[in-house]
Amino acid sequence: MNMRWLVPFVTEEEETIAVDSGNGRHGGPWQGEEVACHGTYEGVLRNHFFAGGIIWPHVAARGRTGPPLESLHPKRDTRDPKLPAAREISDGDSVNGREFRVPGSEWPVAPIAPVYCVVLLYTLPLGLIPYDTAWALQKRAAAARISGALPEDLLLLVQHPPVVTLGRSTKPGHLLASAEYLEAQGIQVREVERGGDVTVHEPGQLVAYPIIDLKRHRKDLHWYLRQVEEVIIGALAPHGLSCHRVEGLTGVWHTRANDSRVKLASIGVHARDWVTWHGVALNVENDLATFDHTVPCGIDGVVMSTVARECVASGLHAPSLAALERDVAHSAARVFGLEAVPFPSAYQSVLDG
């Protein structure tokens, strides 16, 4: 559970609260100190601040007040007795070994009661939607995450009609039919900005698009790919299906009783300003027919399979796509140290663009 204790105070920067998070690396007159400064979020979170797992009401500066926290943000009391008690600070108090001074009368320092809460992962299942719709939605969500209009990480869970996507590393010959032929068969072809080679989406496949701010986690895309793999491995484990990584390859694999290896999930991501989009496609109960037109992920000789097929072959009960949707959301929350909650309707306008 990702939770920190913060000390709020006002800085000289307009509409900014600085919080002593114990691990900050940027911001205002406390540059370089163990302090992080967080500017005002636009929209519904205006006059409230979120950082390190705790929401702080804005100080009543310049006569503005915000709506109640409860109307803006899911939260629960998770006070940890090991955390120090919240403390108020005032003019002359010491913060990180430095004396804090009230910048001016226009910035009154008011007592602020902290609200301890877990850091959230918004989950938004959308069912079967066109690829282009989901692609545009991801880009809007990533832009909102970068700007702060979307205050939490987001996980989109979808299925797509048949589509072949060509990543930046797609090699000639990995698409085994022309785009014109595939379009005539009702299979879309899209060149996209994600990493990786050619991949396939089709009904019965669960596609998860994490919109994750890696600045909040770890600024390392290789680390992130391993975490996404772990999300899928962790989601399948409760159903008895043992899956694993393969060194040097990205994705999630299952080894059969005869030691043959099949691939269940393909991963390709993109990031801007350390915010991710695109994601992982898990074959659940799809018929795999669209894969016949590709060299999946550009791996010669790879055998694609589905969760349903491998569960049946192993004598296991095959989970439904709806069950795996829930399991992937919970596994993602666990892996990234978040709590999965339904996407709040208050932010729908952010995604609508």
Catalytic residue IDs? 297
Q: Is the dihedral of CA 304, 308, 311, 312 positive or negative?
A: negative
Handedness of CA 326, 330, 332, 338 (dihedral sign): positive
C-alpha dihedral (50, 52, 56, 60), degrees to nearest 10 = -70
Classified as helix, coil or strand, 226 is helix
- Cα(353)–Cα(346) distance, rounded to whole angstroms? 14
58 vs 136: CA distance, rounded Å: 33
Long-range contacts of 233-240 (CB under 8 A, 24+ apart): 234/331, 234/334, 234/335, 235/282, 235/324, 235/327, 235/328, 235/330, 235/331, 236/264, 236/307, 236/324, 236/327, 238/327, 239/307, 239/311, 239/316, 239/317, 239/318, 239/319, 239/327, 240/311, 240/314, 240/316
DSSP output for 30-86: GTTSS-EEEEPPSGGGTTEEEETTEEEEPP-GGG-----GGGT--------TTSPPP
